[in-house]
Amino acid sequence: MPKKYIVLAKTIGRKWFLILVVIIIIVAIYNPIVAIWMSGITLLLFLLSYIPKLFFKNKLHKFMKQYYKIEDELIARKFKKSIEVIQDELFELSQNQYKKKWLITFINKQYVYYHQETIEKFQELYNKGFSEKEILDNLQNYKVVTKAELKAIKENLVKLNRLNEREISVKEHRDKQRFA
């Protein structure tokens, strides 16, 4: 069981802004000028607390762009962060991916990031009328290995209105290959 002073320090660390506001209110009763200065410093500290999050998001996005496919567990290991923190960030990114070229899916209780080239190749093969098996065979170089991944990619692209209707149906494509 953690020691009481560690628990107290963590509580203060989480609630520092509220504690500082209470102190400023108490000081404002006795000396308003000092309270104004303390308010400015508090506001500055509060704004500065968001800078590490911005740097982390940019660093995370640059890191993910290096891979055709990467899972949240690998990202957590590389950044030495908890899986929950990485999943929260990937969840946020997945909510704002309507106009993005890449794709983040949630498969088997984990987030998976797919690079822009992977998604473009999938869309190209899908529009040409390839079946799931043929698409899967062609995407082996892009680290897509299961039909569940293909299904999740397709569902997310349809949900985001980024997947056009097929130019050629699967049946027409098979007939073309058979008689060619």
Q: Tell me: do 128 and 165 sit in the same domain.
A: yes
How far is residue 161 from each of residues 100, 156, 165, measured CA to CA in Å? Answer: 12, 8, 10
Q: Which residue has the higher pLDDT, 132 or 180?
A: 132
Its domain, for residue 85, covers 52-172
Name the residue with tokens 């690998």: 74
Q: Tell me: do 30 and 64 sit in the same domain.
A: no
Q: Which DSSP state fits 98?
A: T
State pLDDT tens for residues 91-124: 999 998 888 999 999 999 999 999 999 999 999 9
Q: Tell me: do 40 and 62 sit in the same domain.
A: no
Q: Tell me: do 39 and 59 sit in the same domain.
A: no
pLDDT of residue 19 exceeding 60, the answer is: yes
Q: Tell me: do 34 and 70 sit in the same domain.
A: no
State pLDDT tens for residues 75-92: 999 999 999 999 999 999
Model's pTM, two decimal places? 0.73
